[in-house]
Amino acid sequence: MTTTTEARTRSGRLMLNKVPEVTIWFWVIKVLCTTVGESFADWINMKLGVGLVNTAWIFTAVFVVVLAVQLRLKRYVPFPYWLTVVVVSVTGTLYTDILTDQLNVPLWISSAVFSVLLAVVFGVWWARERTLSIHSVTTLPRESFYWLAVLVTFALGTATGDWTLELTGWSPGVSVLLPLGLIAAITLLWKFGANPVLSFWLAYILTRPLGANIGDWLASPKVAQPGEPTGLDLGTFTTSLIFLGLILATVVYLTVTRSDVTETHEATHAAPATSNPRRERTALAGFGLLALATAALLVWAHGQPHVGPAAEEDNTSAVQMAPGQAVKKFPPAKVDALKKLASTSLKDARSGDATGAHAAAQSLRDLWDADQASLQPLDQTGWTSIDAQMDKVLGTFGIDHSNPPMSPAQQEKELNALLTDMG
């Protein structure tokens, strides 16, 4: 789908268009970037044990650097443009994850806030430039509005995509079908005569949950606990490498052929047909019906029986272990790091600092998951014992569980039990 409209420059340095032509290659590489953004962020956050907040700081810094390079260019260049998209996809996703996992903001609130924020960005952009078309990104102000809108669309796509999974309980493989179907419907409405700018941005938002679900489906294990995602078991690192390779190959192709450069495309393709106001109004009604149908589907899916998490089992009662026995074969430095985070969470819970206690528990979870590959082979029984108690701790904070956070007293009880088990 394309987004032609009158390009009117009010101020700023005039440049060639800084955004690629919207061809099939645009959408292919956009989904690839979204997928690799999701899987690569998960790999850094979970496997390397960097943590969610630290990962967000890292990618924010990288985003500032690559965006500065992109803004200094006077025309569209594939490599820096798509590198910026990859980085902004990760950054926008991380911001939503921090709201959800660290600050306990419900996904429906995040979705509403980012929807309003995106409307504000578009409103100010339109009021100043009188166009939202990506075919008219020819000045620094317009490009700045464009990248701000892209950042918010990724955050919004993350929130709405995760909220959909929360409502429906669908697996990543099944969840791919909803954004894919919506994008197909939007494409048909655009072909019919829908406003191209509106069609573009709606499809752009939906590519985020589409790419993320593809990434989760490829990376998730083939066998998992009830309620946990399953997939092809490629892992986040392998998935990231595959998609980075595909992105690189596509960018090289576009660099050589210049087939997605607006000026090149316009010289080799006929101009799009003039818009038809009646068809645009009819298509707008079609978008409304599509929204209602989607809402009805989600309500129906939410009312169906879900496969929730497996029932809690007290695995520690199966093997009685003395305090410290479960971690006896683990490296002391790793045990001390875990105990430090558990103690911090306990201290904050006791002092009434719910945000601090939750953040420390989240970091505890991240570190425990990151150390699984090295600790579990050392002592399967000990690891299972600690993992069971760790899960109880996380359950009191509503981390990786559907329940809301429990009382500070319950949190203190399970944290004390965990610290006792770790000696």
Tokens of 161: 């995509």
**According to the model, what pLDDT value does residue 122 have?**
95
pLDDT in tens, the chain (423 residues): 544 443 344 444 455 688 888 889 999 999 988 888 767 777 776 666 677 788 888 889 999 999 999 999 988 999 999 999 989 988 988 888 888 877 888 889 999 999 999 999 999 999 999 888 888 888 999 999 999 999 999 888 888 888 888 888 888 788 899 999 999 999 999 999 999 999 999 999 899 889 888 887 887 777 655 556 677 878 877 888 888 899 999 999 988 988 877 655 444 455 555 678 899 999 999 999 999 999 999 999 888 775 544 444 444 344 557 888 888 889 998 889 999 999 999 998 888 888 888 888 888 988 888 888 888 888 888 888 898 889 889 889 888 776 778 888 889 888 988 998 888
Beta carbons of 213 and 31 less than 8 angstroms apart: no
The length of the chain in residues reads 423
The residue type found at 289 is L
Q: How far apart are the first and last CA of the chain?
A: 61
**According to the model, what pLDDT value does residue 226 have?**
53
**According to the model, what pLDDT value does residue 201 have?**
92
Query: What is the C-alpha R_g of the chain?
Result: 24
Name the phi and psi angles at 201, rounded to 5: -70, -35
Which residues, at least 6 apart from 281, have a Cβ–Cβ distance to it below 8 Å? none
Per DSSP, 399 falls in state S
Burial class of residue 312 (count of CB atoms within 10 Å of its CB; 0-12, 13-18, 19+): exposed
Q: What is the 3-state secondary structure (H, E, C) of 53-112?
A: HHHHHHHHHHHHHHHHHHHHCCCCCHHHHHHHHHHHHHHHHHHHHHHHHHCCCCHHHHHH
Neighbours of 22 (CB within 10 A): 23
> What is the Cα–Cα distance from 163 to 96, expressed in whole angstroms?
11
